[in-house]
Structure 1
């Protein structure tokens, strides 16, 4: 049976969710698809390009339209939506973090954050830094949450599941800092007569 690229990605997501990132191998995926591992290379040149396609699909599935109009509302929505998309799949945060770190894909959240931050007034030099900082907060926090939950479920740690997440409070702290920097930058420009 011949599989299309989308079929391979869909099955890869199923393997990821069932077994985790460490067990998402070309061999296992080929077994799930009832093909030889070499057949997968028709669609993907290597495992890293497969992982990039899987990460992009997870993000596509989790995307939702923005309701907020102000830049800070949009930033919160993008970050919260990204977190939800990552938490929807086992090892979602680890997968997307890896793909981003290797520069293989999963660029949409960063691009969306840059666009949302544009009206904040940070300028071309600080906007990318703010977007990366927000992205790292979401990825790191979500990775911590997923790792703790999975380790507890597997009996690797004796901790109970955490009663609630402090993600929203942490995100608010970062957004407040961005807002303060933008205000200070705007005041400095006014003082200089710009």
Structure 2
């Protein structure tokens, strides 16, 4: 709060004139971050119902747009994860994703739970991605610590997969998880 107040050239207490609590400020920040997802929402909504095969591409576009929006801000996923925004940007994203699923034949409950699954996967993945890419304190990186712990212990399965576990190709990790999630949604679709 002090840093924000300094950046605005006011005392920290003056911020409470606009936001009753720190949580209110974080919620407003989260809503603002998700504002850039509007283009993806508009594109998905403009595509409209396209039948059986395209719903997963539309859901994937929304998930990717959310990830991109959060990555555009330092600790974006961390800020977003701690809020429950009901602003037009967040609700527009949710409305679009649930609409795609309902139009594809998912029941209301399945569509609502799928919204949580897609949003939670995307935010969780991005939270881990941003944490891993944050400049360290000069010590071992997460990858370095994992490597040392793995080769020093008796973890042959982890040692065999270290090249993938320690890569910073987070897009590949995200796309793999998103594909698993969409495949799972296909399996439960009525």
Alignment TM class, shorter chain as reference: 0.7 to 0.9
Aligned to 2:57: 73
Q: Which runs of 5+ in 2 are unaligned?
A: 145-165
Following superposition, the deviation at residue 126 of structure 1 comes to 1.1
Is 1:110 aligned with 2:115? no
Q: Which runs of 5+ in 1 are unaligned?
A: 1-24, 186-194
Q: Of 160, 169, 179, which residue of structure 2 is paired with 1:164?
A: 169
Following superposition, the deviation at residue 176 of structure 1 comes to 1.2
What is the CA–CA distance in structure 1 between the aligned matches of 2:7 and 2:13, rounded to whole Å?
14
Following superposition, the deviation at residue 36 of structure 1 comes to 1.8
State the TM-score, normalizing by the size of structure 1: 0.71
Cα-Cα RMSD? 2.1
Aligned to 1:174: 181
Following superposition, the deviation at residue 115 of structure 1 comes to 1.7
Is 1:58 aligned with 2:65? no
Aligned to 2:5: 30
C-alpha contact 1:52 1:99 (8 A) present in aligned 2: yes
State the TM-score, normalizing by the size of structure 2: 0.73
Could you tell which deviates more after superposition, 139-148 or 160-169?
160-169
State the secondary structure of the residue aligned to 1:99. Answer: coil
C-alpha contact 2:38 2:92 (8 A) present in aligned 1: no
Comparing both chains, which one has the higher relative contact order based on Cα–Cα distances under 8 Å and sequence gaps of 6 or more?
A: 2
Cα-to-partner distance string for 1:79-130 (whole Å, 9 max, x where unaligned): 0010011111111001111113xx6654443333212211221211211001
C-alpha contact 2:71 2:126 (8 A) present in aligned 1: yes
